[in-house]
A and B are shown apart, each in its own frame.
Chain A
């Protein structure tokens, strides 16, 4: 068995190339097509929309283009030897005498990029296949729009991941934000969907401000926005720490803000649960697997910059840990299974940030990788249930699905997902969570031990609420009720509509992926003292981790110690006297079983006891706050509305009144009314009477004669009022004399 795995590893593991040995770079200029294929798909979907195509053609186009991207990524992975920049075309090049701003449309291929691109393109293709059947109700109505949105999203995500400078990353960042907005608001006739789309975009905007400011500060400090050049400057310590130096410390916090916005951490997570208003493939692709991982990617890419301030990474860790716990408590009390999965996503993202904060970028990346698979599977199964039961997602109204005909695949793939999420031993989620949890106890930092125990407790909560869903929906007696999208049929004669080939195929594929994602852990890697298999290899290869001391992977520079020596140099955080990783294996397994046990008790065997517990808690005054707050998501949305939205609304109202009455009324209309008033004064002159016109003429003539007669006196008068002018005096005097 081990030999088989070893042989397999030889096929898929990439040897780490020491930088001292410069190999002949392979020509990879065709890699640009990975970026261009989703764009081609977008253009073709646009043409379909223009010609009002009423078939499934947009889906076929998108799947073909995305599959091409995926195949190209595989080929790229196969022919990858060392980090390389592929220049596509010149984009922004501004030069002046003492500086320049250069941001080209170029691709930076290193192993981190490849890791991300593999699951982005792979899951993108599979979910596009899933969506081709899931969205078939909308063929001819919004089908093309959906696939155009998916293409835009994938193009932007590719730009984000493969760009070689921060500006391309920003382009992709904004692009995925836009695509998310477009796709969440897919059902634009529903006000809730529109509001959710707006909320997602606006909350992301807050993070984007951080990113823009960070890019500017990075440019002004390091003089460049390209990754490799930043790393060079950082390592040689030749960066410009002017502006008093505080701006350099601000960079990691601004980057952090951006990552929290995009990856839905405290306090900017509020958009993710509402984003479930979009169609389920969107939730699976964007809000589980790819877009929300953009924040993690950003931090890993700019990891060396986080060393600029000593409290940056602990902040990340604390935010991540607290978010994980917070979201888990909310998820325990929701009834909508898609919402529960959304909160679970937030919680798992918190884990990833915790991993980044405790300096295991390997752990975070591995968790990203595994989470992408099992969360996608969970969302897609929820979607299948929604699709088949006319929109029913309440777990109190569905039960026993695994015993129904045609629903077995859905139930069992969901079981696989739930096991991975809960961290059942030997699933992929088990190993990835272990990497993070162990490091929390190893790395020294403010309160990291507490965070570690909190994370373990949250793992238990995760197991509980995950299996709550599965035991309620897929196990137990068979019972179902149709949901809101019944379209007028009689509920009594409702028959659930089981998923067909495309959905089933995708579910099985991704579930298999989720299981197989555990494998890379065991692939032996070829760098010394590296712990963690293929993923670690991939991260290790990336120059992004250069210069980060104490990172789980050894840095490139030869003088930095490896993990083993770190373990010897720093006080080794023992847990109960054992090696951290081994201890974690046992503890997390135990905690997971406890959680599953609770779920088994409350939601399979003695279902009524759950309701009884809830009513008992509600009855007692001391504990009433607990279930109500948890069900109401700790009132975070209400707090935001009161603290932020209402004052802004009042301010906006004030300014609109200001604009309406002062600027429009007094200034613009006031100035406009001057000619009108003047005209009204003078219009009685036009009374149509010949003689009144004659009077005006004669009066004018008399006035002129008067003026000419009394010119000397008038001149004298003006002179007496204005004694300064000397030249004018003489001129006027001569005129007066000529009279």
Chain B
């Protein structure tokens, strides 16, 4: 695919962001937003080619919608002069990202993202912002500090960002057709095998009068044929399995986590523990002790009168 058009789209987007960073009258800002959105849509449209490649119209529409929402919120986040609004726009970004993840059929991840980010991290950010954010001038409590209002070197930053974006999009557009895909992966069927209770429940939902358990062939219960996967009961009944029996995304993620990355879970736990310790240590308040108090703290008693001069 020719890369010139995507580059131009990137350039437009970059100029939009640059314009958004400088203080400007509201009309200009709105115009910039519109143009930015349009540029992003154009970019994404170019990339995705026809919407038909997604398979479903709604699928493609939702993709563009969520993407535009994310990008717009991100741009507004970096350009807003009030930090609290930046944090709120970030929440919007998180929600848009969760939407994109939902479209990728990663429900667990989507909601975990919302819970952790929007529910925990952003709340912490809000607390600290309210703690530390002060107006520069007590007489004008509604103006922000200078360091919030005036961006530093927007030109250089936008230039670097533009460069990076062109590189990424150029690579992605030019290189992904070579990426191998794992069509007909059987990993989910394998995991289903490992979850016998879930398997039984799902099969029972699918076909309530199937005789459980099915026969085992080549150490697996599920066999593959021309129409897909099927199981054979001990009576000889063949049951075609469809996608409804597959384990949910949560189950899959959990299986993958525990089966393939057990040590990493432990390490993640250690990291969180360390973070807790670190936060507790950092947030202590230093107290000025007198000499007497220090002596008592170290030696356990006050030895000033007893010791005399050495």
A706 to chain B: which residues have CB within 8 Å? 167
The closest CB in chain A to the CB of B174 belongs to: A709
Interface residues of A in 64-94 (CB under 8 A from B): none
Asked whether B164 is an interface residue with its Cβ less than 8 Å from the other chain, the reply is: yes
* Sample (18) of A-B pairs whose CB atoms are under 8 Å apart: A691-B152, A691-B153, A695-B156, A695-B157, A695-B160, A698-B160, A698-B164, A699-B160, A702-B160, A702-B163, A702-B164, A702-B167, A705-B164, A705-B167, A706-B167, A709-B167, A709-B170, A709-B171
Q: Is the interface of B mostly helix, strand, loop or mixed?
A: helix
Interface residues of A in 684-735 (CB under 8 A from B): 691, 695, 698-699, 702, 705-706, 709
Bound-complex Cα distance A695 to B152 (A): 12
Interface residues of B in 230-247 (CB under 8 A from A): none
Using A691-B152, A709-B167, A709-B170 as known contacts, list a sample of 4 further A-B pairs with CB atoms less than 8 Å apart, ordered by residue number in A.
Answer: A695-B160, A698-B160, A702-B163, A702-B164
Bound-complex Cα distance A709 to B167 (A): 9
A702 to chain B: which residues have CB within 8 Å? 160, 163-164, 167
Interface residues of B in 128-179 (CB under 8 A from A): 152-153, 156-157, 160, 163-164, 167, 170-171
CB distance from B66 to the nearest CB of A (A): 27
B160 to chain A: which residues have CB within 8 Å? 695, 698-699, 702
Residue ranges of B at the interface with A (Cβ–Cβ < 8 Å): 152-153, 156-157, 160, 163-164, 167, 170-171
Closest 10 CB pairs of A and B: A705-B167, A702-B163, A698-B160, A702-B164, A691-B152, A699-B160, A695-B156, A709-B171, A702-B160, A695-B160
CB distance from B157 to the nearest CB of A (A): 8
The closest CB in chain B to the CB of A739 belongs to: B175
Bound-complex Cα distance A706 to B157 (A): 18
Q: Is the interface of A mostly helix, strand, loop or mixed?
A: helix
B163 to chain A: which residues have CB within 8 Å? 702
CB distance from B177 to the nearest CB of A (A): 15
CB distance from B178 to the nearest CB of A (A): 11
The closest CB in chain B to the CB of A706 belongs to: B167
CB distance from B162 to the nearest CB of A (A): 10
CB distance from B169 to the nearest CB of A (A): 12
A709 to chain B: which residues have CB within 8 Å? 167, 170-171
A705 to chain B: which residues have CB within 8 Å? 164, 167
A698 to chain B: which residues have CB within 8 Å? 160, 164
Bound-complex Cα distance A695 to B170 (A): 22
B156 to chain A: which residues have CB within 8 Å? 695
Bound-complex Cα distance A699 to B164 (A): 9
CB distance from A693 to the nearest CB of B (A): 13
Bound-complex Cα distance A504 to B153 (A): 102
CB distance from A662 to the nearest CB of B (A): 46
CB distance from B12 to the nearest CB of A (A): 20
Bound-complex Cα distance A134 to B163 (A): 97
B153 to chain A: which residues have CB within 8 Å? 691
CB distance from A281 to the nearest CB of B (A): 65
B171 to chain A: which residues have CB within 8 Å? 709
The closest CB in chain A to the CB of B161 belongs to: A698
Bound-complex Cα distance A268 to B157 (A): 84
Bound-complex Cα distance A310 to B153 (A): 96
Bound-complex Cα distance A706 to B171 (A): 10
CB distance from B205 to the nearest CB of A (A): 49
A695 to chain B: which residues have CB within 8 Å? 156-157, 160
Bound-complex Cα distance A702 to B163 (A): 8
Bound-complex Cα distance A702 to B167 (A): 8
The closest CB in chain B to the CB of A691 belongs to: B152
Bound-complex Cα distance A698 to B157 (A): 10
The closest CB in chain A to the CB of B152 belongs to: A691
B170 to chain A: which residues have CB within 8 Å? 709
CB distance from A700 to the nearest CB of B (A): 11
Bound-complex Cα distance A355 to B163 (A): 102
A691 to chain B: which residues have CB within 8 Å? 152-153
CB distance from B78 to the nearest CB of A (A): 13
Interface residues of A in 244-298 (CB under 8 A from B): none
